[in-house]
Copies of this chain bind each other. A is one copy, B any other.
Amino acid sequence: MAESDGIALLRTIPDATIARLPLYLRTLTTLADAGHDTVSSQALAEAAGVNPAQLRKDLSHLGSYGVRGVGYDVAHLQASIGAQIGSAQEWPVVIVGMGNLGTALARYSGYAVRGFRVVALVDVASDLIGQQVQLATTSLEISPESALESVLARFPAAMVVLTTPVEVAQQVCDRVVAAGVRSILSFAPVLLQVPDGVVLRTVDLGRELQILAYHQSRHAEIGGDDRKEIW
């Protein structure tokens, strides 16, 4: 359904491209800070560590923003990528689970530039509740997990970052979903069950290490295949 022309056009951007847009945005920010007004696909691709043809193909999905013979306008490209991945707006984020990982994520100072704002912190530990966590520009008080539903009710469009212990991740996830949250970023090393329509993304830090270990052992055995970066 909803296959009107405009929307169908938006939908044609491949997932692989979407996954690279944040990388381009980050690279563009560096270039802008260095005073570049314009950049060629060659230069931007090299700075981002991708193939120039791939970069141009990726950008072509956003529309035609480059100028032949010249390159891309840095500020314009930042704006259009930002608009595309939705970091032009500011998404409210609620973090559930204020252990070291949750605290690290809360204190991460790059949200503003990336389209997010941490608006609430939740934990179950009685010694944490009420504590103030110093963020980049403000500070937030940790709310009790019993108030999870009322906290989420105050921020209807919230995305939730789940940094609870793995044992309770599923039940907290269920409550978050029941409260109407449609997007969850989980750090619990377990496959969470969510209903259709909820977007779940899982970052498993142990998995990242294991993939690295695999390449390390390949390396040790074979003695270098000139592989530099793996995404």
Binding site for B on A (CB under 8 A): 1-2, 7, 10-11, 15, 18-19, 21-23, 25-27, 30, 47-49, 84-87, 91, 93, 99-101, 103-105, 107-108, 110-111, 114-116, 159, 161, 182-185, 189-191, 194, 196-224, 226-231
Are A205's CB and B105's CB within 8 A? yes
Are A226's CB and B196's CB within 8 A? yes
Copies in the complex: 2
Nearest chain B CB to A171's CB is how many angstroms away?
Answer: 16
Are B48's CB and A86's CB within 8 A? no
Are B183's CB and A216's CB within 8 A? yes
Of B107, B185, B212, the contact of A100 (CB 8 Å cutoff): B107
Closest to A194 in B: B228
14 pairs from A and B in contact (CB 8 Å cutoff): A10-B218, A21-B210, A84-B214, A93-B209, A101-B101, A108-B205, A108-B206, A114-B206, A115-B213, A161-B209, A194-B228, A199-B228, A201-B211, A202-B231
Top 4 nearest A-B pairs (CB, nearest first) are A100-B104, A101-B104, A86-B217, A22-B207
Q: Which residues of B contact A86 (CB under 8 A)?
A: 210, 213-214, 216-217
Are A218's CB and B101's CB within 8 A? no
Instruction: Say whether, besides A206-B114, A212-B185, A228-B198, A222 and B2 are in contact (CB < 8 Å).
Output: yes
Q: Which residues of B contact A184 (CB under 8 A)?
A: 212
Q: Which residues of B contact A216 (CB under 8 A)?
A: 86, 91, 159, 182-183, 199
Are B203's CB and A183's CB within 8 A? no
Bound-state Cα–Cα, A99 to B109, Å: 13
Bound-state Cα–Cα, A216 to B10, Å: 14
